[in-house]
Chain A
């Protein structure tokens, strides 16, 4: 992994543990994300990716371990009050796979964004209309979509709204959990390009969770590979994909369908691991 000096770290996770009953969902997970960097988390279903993400954004507690954003410990200092929660939300925002579930079906897109701004930046009230326009523009939506209800939008448009809402509070880190998994390749390509542009323009950092290695290669600089709650390999994305060191990483790579692919051999290798 890239060596990141302390003051360049926007997010640092150290020794995270979380168990659900007898299941160790997250076991000693540590990594860091450089300011403006993009870090991927890959791994099979149930490997602990979402649990890790939920701990980072504060939707789930850790049994032990630390999450630092811009060098400050989120769990210790934060506390449980409303002010503290808003402050945490401003630092790290999350975008989910299915934006439909996280958007209120009765509220127009413009109102969703205005609502978010009212909650997080009430002091700048006068500028909210302009900011809404700016945000929509940033994700490639216009006035027509601003007046639309979520169900009147396509999946790709809804995901743009979810991204705009996350960006509204100008977070330092955006956590994207399978955020492009439900989209068509053509729409997925539009969103991935959009995310690349936003990172370049704003210097925001991404934690990008996906099980698509092609996507990881396209949008991340570093990657961690998780299995059964543990990190089994990590490093520069290009190097990990070109020269995987762990047998599980190799299995993931072999699992990607390609001509001449042998799915039965993969099933055998998986059982042997």
Chain B
């Protein structure tokens, strides 16, 4: 069976950067699967998810393959690309207010892309809009309202309804709940989860909230400086991180079940795009780094006895116990 999304060896260069912003990403999302993409600001999460719709910054060049339902997005012509964006894959952004024109009614916003694509009669588009609003728990009357009349949580539900309009196989959600408070976040996440089951959609969920990733996803990819540091099933990955970066992220998160007091902050900052990198990109901040880490890029290696897990760390096997212990906060 083909995966809904299959990214193989994606590299992305931007003008003025000394190294690729994405340096060989491999990632898959199956039908009905929720996959989380986590990592610090600037690690390349948004660029990865935007590549899936080929929404790239000016001057960007790519290598590799990004296939949605078996079709390579990077080589599509304009017509195929329009079809992809209208019907196959849809994106939900962090800030719904920035993504919706405040001067247009919600109804126009929802039906716009179907109507522009001229393959759906207006009445059919309107009917679908009502059904999708209902699916996200909003009434028909929202169609005639303006964005300013809705709360942030309601507007994000409108965004989700809009993403569902073309009956996509894949939803890319880029920090869809970061601007919402915790109770509204729970509501939106519950909704996405429902819809994923009902419509069989695959979901790529970009977030920097590790607790949220652990709670909602089947599998997780941890990204650092344009590479996947580690991937695996959510439970295993958060219980027993195999990459020092994953363990460090977990330890720096203020949690309700951790002892109070100082947090274990990661020292330093992620490498700037102006620097070339040799060796492991995390080496400069890693407490376990050795000479080998500075010199040699660690390849992705399977974790013995754990299917579906890959980790890019020279010392992962020796560190296993230490990392698992530190992630558990004791």
Q: Name A residues whose Cβ lies closer than 8 Å to a Cβ of B.
A: 44-46, 154-156, 184-190, 192-193, 196, 211-215, 217-218, 238, 241, 251-253, 255-264, 266-267, 270
Nearest-CB distance from A144 to chain B (Å)?
Answer: 13
Q: Name B residues whose Cβ lies closer than 8 Å to a Cβ of A.
A: 40-41, 151-153, 180-187, 189-191, 193-194, 208-212, 214-216, 234-235, 238, 248-249, 252-257, 260-266, 269
Chain A residues with CB under 8 A of B215: 257-261, 263
Chain B residues with CB under 8 A of A256: 182, 211, 256
Chain A residues with CB under 8 A of B191: 267
Task: Given A44-B182, A263-B189, verify A185-B151 contact (CB < 8 Å).
Answer: no
Nearest-CB distance from A249 to chain B (Å)?
Answer: 12
Check A186 against B40 for contact (C-beta < 8 Å): yes
- 14 A–B pairs (Cβ distance < 8 Å), ordered by A: A44-B184, A184-B41, A185-B252, A186-B248, A188-B252, A189-B266, A211-B182, A217-B256, A217-B260, A218-B260, A256-B182, A257-B186, A257-B189, A261-B215
Chain A residues with CB under 8 A of B212: 257
Q: Please report whether the interface of chain B is mostly helix, strand, loop or mixed according to DSSP.
A: helix
Nearest-CB distance from B218 to chain A (Å)?
Answer: 12
Nearest-CB distance from B274 to chain A (Å)?
Answer: 12
Task: Identify which of B151, B152, B191, B254 gathers the most chain A CB atoms within 10 Å of its CB.
Answer: B254
Task: Compute how far the CA of A260 lies from the CA of B211 in the bound complex, rounded to whole angstroms.
Answer: 11
Nearest-CB distance from A33 to chain B (Å)?
Answer: 19
Check A263 against B263 for contact (C-beta < 8 Å): no
Chain B residues with CB under 8 A of A266: 183, 186-187, 190
Check B260 against A238 for contact (C-beta < 8 Å): yes
Chain A residues with CB under 8 A of B261: 218
Check A259 against B235 for contact (C-beta < 8 Å): yes
Task: Given A186-B248, A255-B182, A261-B215, verify A218-B263 contact (CB < 8 Å).
Answer: yes
Task: Given A155-B41, A186-B265, A193-B262, verify A218-B254 contact (CB < 8 Å).
Answer: yes
Task: Compute how far the CA of A50 lies from the CA of B56 in the bound complex, rounded to whole angstroms.
Answer: 37
Task: Compute how far the CA of A218 lies from the CA of B97 in the bound complex, rounded to whole angstroms.
Answer: 31
Chain B residues with CB under 8 A of A186: 40, 248-249, 252, 265-266
Chain B residues with CB under 8 A of A185: 40, 208, 210, 249, 252-253
Task: Compute how far the CA of A241 lies from the CA of B256 in the bound complex, rounded to whole angstroms.
Answer: 8
Which residue of A46, A190, A261, A263 contacts B187 across the interface (Cβ within 8 Å)?
A263
Task: Identify which of B186, B261, B262 gathers the most chain A CB atoms within 10 Å of its CB.
Answer: B186
Nearest-CB distance from B204 to chain A (Å)?
Answer: 17
